[in-house]
Amino acid sequence: MSIIECRRCGKLLQYQQLKDLPFFPFCSKRCKLVDLGQWFNEEHRLPGEHAADDKEDNDETTAPRG
């Protein structure tokens, strides 16, 4: 048997196999969602960057070298 701490709240989780913890490495779905949510927010938080919405009409043809 092994024991881990929930990555989110630090609750001790006992398990014999990882499949015993459906939300590994979290204790619950809530902890998992909260943690992933924060991670997502961090990822999406870009410092004053505007969306590159203007597509250039360049012809990107890959010319074979050689």
Taking CB under 5 A as the rule, does residue 18 contact Zn ion?
no
Q: Which is nearer to Zn ion, 3 or 46 (CB)?
A: 3
Residue 6, C-beta contacts closer than 8 angstroms, at least 6 positions apart:
12, 13, 25, 26, 27, 28, 31
In the complex, minimum distance from the CB of residue 12 to Zn ion, in angstroms, rounded to a whole number: 10
**Which phi and psi angles does 16 have, rounded to 5°?**
-100, -40
Which one of residues 2, 11, 20, 40 is an interface residue with Zn ion (CB under 5 A)? 11
- Residues lying near Zn ion in the complex (CB under 5 A): 6, 8-9, 11, 27, 31
